[in-house]
């Protein structure tokens, strides 16, 4: 297969408070600095990547949604499978699987829901405060809350295509070994419409020609990309930077993407 490349929107000039509006793009204050970068197929890696080293891995987790496209139905089928998968992958003693997030290519019909567009800029999904706040909220009613929060805990993220291959806007991730601290820029992410907004801290990234990008080509129903969201054991590290990229520009016959992201908080105790 040909070497893929992607047109990636890195963060550019920053002046004042950097804000990214997921559902109100016209209000975004971030300026982007676009660069074309090679994207390597994980299927062709000589040595399989790992969460501990590169910050991502390829996995197989069969998922039969029986044609469902309703998020509640998908959640009822998928979350128990993910719970068992994360237990085996991490060995964590407590696992909380979040609600699935569905996204659609700009070329696909979509329901009128917030945060349903593929993210087309280089980012990770948590800063330290947002990550810890979410963990605390998830454990709000747990009598052993202080115990779980006093030990190691992490967020492991997964992404899979629900549409047939080849997908037009697959997700790519950066090998965390190719990052330096100067690449990251803190900003505020705003989700929702006026009057119903949620804000949280996040990181975008400046372009670095040394970044090594990777993706899984032609994802089938059982393929899954797994990557780090945040880990209390990794002081100073962000999660794995990622972005959708424009595969449709270099390959004929791509299919409009419909995808599902599912995150799990894992507590080691």
pLDDT digits (tens, 9 = 90+) for 179-221: 999 999 999 999 898 989 999 999 999 999 999 999 999 999 9
Q: What is the pTM of this model?
A: 0.93
Predicted pLDDT of residue 8: 98
For residues 94 and 150, the answer to whether their CB atoms sit within 8 Å is: no
Taking 80 as the threshold, does the pLDDT of residue 248 lie above it? yes
The alpha carbon of 254 is separated from its chain's Cα centroid by a whole number of angstroms, namely 21
Taking 90 as the threshold, does the pLDDT of residue 147 lie above it? yes
Render pLDDT for 27-68 as a digit per residue (tens, 0 to 9).
Answer: 988 899 999 999 999 999 999 999 999 999 999 999 999 888
Predicted pLDDT of residue 77: 96
Between 229 and 2, whose confidence is greater? 229
Taking 80 as the threshold, does the pLDDT of residue 109 lie above it? no
Domain assignment of residue 110, given as a range? 4-267
Predicted pLDDT of residue 113: 64
Taking 90 as the threshold, does the pLDDT of residue 78 lie above it? yes
Residue 104 CA to residue 116 CA, distance in Å, equals 6
% of the chain beyond a pLDDT of 70: 97
Taking 70 as the threshold, does the pLDDT of residue 102 lie above it? yes
Domain count, the chain: 1
């Amino acid at each position: 297969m040909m070497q893929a490349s992607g047109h990636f929107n890195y963060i550019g000039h920053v002046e004042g408070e950097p804000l990214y509006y997921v559902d109100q793009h016209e209000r975004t204050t971030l300026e982007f600095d676009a660069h074309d970068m090679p994207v390597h197929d994980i299927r062709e890696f000589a040595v399989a990547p790992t969460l501990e080293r590169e910050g991502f891995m390829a996995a197989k987790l069969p998922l039969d949604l029986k044609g469902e496209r309703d998020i509640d139905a998908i959640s009822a089928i998928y979350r128990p499978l993910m719970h068992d998968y994360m237990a085996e992958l991490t060995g964590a003693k407590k696992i909380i699987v979040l609600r699935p997030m569905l996204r659609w290519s700009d070329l696909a019909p979509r329901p009128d829901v917030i945060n349903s567009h593929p993210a087309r800029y280089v980012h990770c999904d948590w800063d330290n405060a947002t990550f810890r706040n979410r963990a605390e909220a998830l454990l709000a009613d747990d009598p052993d809350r202080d115990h779980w929060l006093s030990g190691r805990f992490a967020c492991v993220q997964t992404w899979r295509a629900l549409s047939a291959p080849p997908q037009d806007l697959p997700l790519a991730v950066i090998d965390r070994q190719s990052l330096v601290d100067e690449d990251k820029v803190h900003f505020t992410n705003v989700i929702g419409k006026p009057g119903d907004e949620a804000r949280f801290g996040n990181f975008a990234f400046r372009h670095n020609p040394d970044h090594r990008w990777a993706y899984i080509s032609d994802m089938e129903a059982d393929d899954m990309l797994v990557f780090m969201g945040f880990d209390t054991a990794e002081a100073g590290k962000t999660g794995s930077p990622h972005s959708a990229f424009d595969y449709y520009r270099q390959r004929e016959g791509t299919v409009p993407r419909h995808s599902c992201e599912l995150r799990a908080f894992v507590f080691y105790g």
